[in-house]
Amino acid sequence: MNEVINRNPFLKWAGGKRKLVEVLAKSLANGDRLVEPFVGSGAVFMGTNYKKYLLCDTNADLIGLFNNLKNNTTKLLAETESLFSGKFKTEEAFYELRETFNKLEAEDLKKSALFVYLNKHSFNGLCRYNKKGFYNVPFGKYKNPKPPINEMILFAKKAQIAEFKCLDFNETFKLVNKGDVVYCDPPYVPISATASFTAYAKSDFKEEQQNALAEEANKAKNKGIRVVISNSDLSITRDMYKDAEVISIDVMRSISSNGSTRGKVKELIAIF
């Protein structure tokens, strides 16, 4: 089993796996490369020790940030730090910068710095877009957010052994080779009608996509490739993953839009 390393991701992320890396690592096999079709904050990337990584996501802004941090580290760190000065801590400044963010291209270094700023200043650290593809999370009213410079430096160093691509899971699975290990952390099947949080990119991740992901995992399994998927522990997901070994775990999660309301929820780890 690959060594587990305690390195925090530099982004806040709904459903992030920072506290579950040690549990997940027990299900991930040895291999030269870890492939993640839903990289999110990169918590599993930062918490494991593979020789290479292929890290993908449909959020172009996120992938742009990771590539800029890998390839333009010094400039991005300086730009990010400058956004955490006093004049940008107000609600008015937040909405002005959010508007600027929505006008920039995903690859723009300024947009990458603004992504970090918004992540630390937005309500509950959410990452959400409307149907037009505009980031629309409101101001979070935090007292004094700090730029995560040290965490970004660690990420940038490790990123030298990683490829970051803006792809959906179907396209990502086409790049998986024998000897790879695949970890999937898709938007979860909601545990209630009001708990859905699938719009972190420009399109929702519905039941059709959930089933298609399970099919891709089965195809990879038949080729001798290990695939591990996290999701809600529900009858519908257990049916989706009927061809996998399923492990149930209790996880502390925010269970409403109120970040102070937390409780244990059932999640599963499906091992193909």
Beta bridge pairs of residue 264: 252
Which residues have a Cβ under 8 Å from the Cβ of 10 and sit 6 or more positions away?
A: 41, 116, 148, 151, 152, 155
Residue with the two structure tokens 């400039």? 75
Q: Is 252 left (phi over 0), alpha (psi -120 to 50) or beta?
A: beta
| Tens-place pLDDT, residues 10-65 | 999 988 788 899 999 999 989 999 999 999 999 999 999 999 999 999 999 999 99
How crowded is residue 21: how many other Cβ atoms within 10 Å of its Cβ?
A: 19
Is residue 2 predicted with pLDDT exceeding 90? no
Distance of CA 257 to the CA centre of its chain: 19
Global pTM? 0.91
Q: Does domain 18-58+167-271 have CATH number 3.40.50.300?
A: no
Q: What distances in angstroms separate CA 92 from CA 14, 87, 231, one per listed residue?
A: 25, 10, 37
Sheet harboring 226-232: ordered strands across? Answer: 162-166, 52-57, 33-36, 180-184, 226-232, 262-271, 245-254
Length of the chain: 272
Whether 18-58+167-271 and 65-151 share one fold: the answer is: no
**What are the boundaries of each domain within the chain?**
18-58+167-271, 65-151
Q: In this structure, are residues 255 and 265 in contact, taking their beta carbons and an 8 Å threshold?
A: yes
Residue 91 and residue 162: Cα distance in Å, rounded?
36
pLDDT value of residue 262: 57
Region 65-151: CATH code: 1.10.1020.10
Q: What are phi and psi of 269, to 5 degrees?
A: -120, 115
| Tens-place pLDDT, residues 123-161 | 998 999 999 999 999 999 898 999 999 999 999 999 999
**Comparison of pLDDT for 6 and 24, the residue scoring more:** 24
